[in-house]
Amino acid sequence: MPAINWKRNVAVLCTAQLLTLIGFSSYFPIIPFYMMELGAESYEQALSLNAAFSSTAAITMMIASPIWGTLADRYGRKMMMVRATLGGAVLSFLMGLAASPEQLIVLRALQGALAGTMAAAMTLISTQTPEDRLGVSLGMMQTVQYAGLAVGPLIGGITSDLFGYRAVFPVSASLQAISLALSVFVVKERFVRVEQPRGKHRSPREVIGAFAGVTGVLLVVVGLIRLTTTSVTPIMSLYVQSIDPTNPRIGTLAGTISSASAVTSAIAAFLIGRAGDKLGQRRVLLICVLGMMVLYIPLAYVTSVTQLIVAYAALGLFLGGTMPTANALLARSTPSERRGAVFGVSSSFQAAGRSVGPLIGAGVANQWGMPMVFLVTSGFCAVIAAGIVAVLNKIGAASKAAPVLAHDEH
């Protein structure tokens, strides 16, 4: 079997994911306003519908991701990449045809069940890349994720302001269709299925044990990180409007704010591997979470959109370091033949966080006002930091995992 050019694979996967994530994120900032166009009668109702839009997709992804991850280990990771991209593209296009908020939410729920391109790409990279280049490759993929999240909202905001909210969705689907073509025709995979000996199956204790120790704690950590980052999602566009209610370009402003954080997150993700090598991956993860805890606080007290952009961009410098560090730790703590399942379960934990986060954010905003959401989110970051100090470091020391997890070469 011919050798795989892993560098080309990483480059193509990064390009495909960049297009997919630009497409996905292009419509996130305009969803509250699209809900109002479809029939929501007030800001409060649009806020609740936006939270449902985010949470239902996260719930269906939480259920489906472990199944897709297990199938990836059995039948190949490229197949899952193609399936996820195709499902995302078709459902993004159909969202532009929705006739009511309820239809939009149902389509988003189906998208959550069928998509999951990031987990598929991470698994494919982690199994087709040399171990001594795993950290830098996963870091590049995380950088691409944030780059896509930086460009997408800006494109979506400008498109919606120029052509209307519905126009954003066919643009999103077109970008994902290009990504689909790259995945089908250019991405290569050398897949060797690891067969279980006939008559021998893993016991429930062995299955649970695979997710114990460092792996189990990391799964909880990534879920909580997603909870904190998505708790502010349903309120951000309306928060911008509350700060500058007379501005006619709310869609562009909301996209710019999301893009500002994503740009700094991309920079942080690109640089995080070197910092992890020098300081240790767990220490870097703790520093990033503490930075998030501190920088969520001033977001509650901004008085202008400019202040909001600057504060959100500063937050991105720490936010960008969390997921690449956690993913590198997760990949290194898992055998190659089980990484599809583990990244699938990781996606499930992240989806659980994404399902709860918007509901918490919307509930806090409706009860105590939108600024309080940022203060509550800061408190969640403090809980994560305490958990890393109290649990993850002790487990890592006991298992002597730190020398293995922090030696990526660049």
What residues contact 357, with CB distance under 8 A and at least 6 apart? 54, 226, 227, 228, 229, 230, 231, 233
Q: Cα–Cα distance between 336 and 162 in angstroms, integer? A: 47
CATH number, domain at 47? Answer: 1.20.1250.20
The string over 25-51, giving b where at least 16 C-beta atoms fall within 10 Å of a residue's C-beta and e elsewhere, is bbbbbbbbbbbbebebeebeebbbbbb
Q: What is the pLDDT of residue 208?
A: 46
pLDDT of residue 407: 33
Q: Is residue 196 part of a domain?
A: no
Domain assignment of residue 239, yes or no: yes
Within a domain: 194: no
Closest of 350, 154, 150 to residue 267, by C-alpha = 150
Do the beta carbons of residue 179 and residue 68 sit within 8 Å? Answer: no
In the chain, which stretches have pLDDT less than 50? 1-2, 197, 199-208, 398-410
Domain for residue 193, yes or no? no
Q: What is the pLDDT of residue 203?
A: 44
Domain count, the chain: 1
Cα–Cα dist 361/258, whole Å: 17
Output the CA torsion sign for 62, 66, 67, 68.
positive
**Domain containing residue 177:** 6-188+204-405
pLDDT given for residue 207 in this prediction? 45
DSSP state of 76: -
Q: Could you tell me the pTM of the whole model?
A: 0.69
Domain membership flag for residue 58 = yes
pLDDT of residue 373: 93
| Predicted pLDDT of residue 134 | 65
Q: Which pLDDT belongs to residue 320?
A: 82
253 is a domain residue: yes
Cβ atoms within 10 A of the Cβ of 185, count?
A: 8
Per the domain annotation, does 197 fall within a domain? no
Tell me, what's the pLDDT at 92?
A: 95
CA distances from 197 to 25, 63, 159, 208, 241 (A): 44, 28, 55, 20, 61
Confirm whether 217 is domain-assigned. Answer: yes
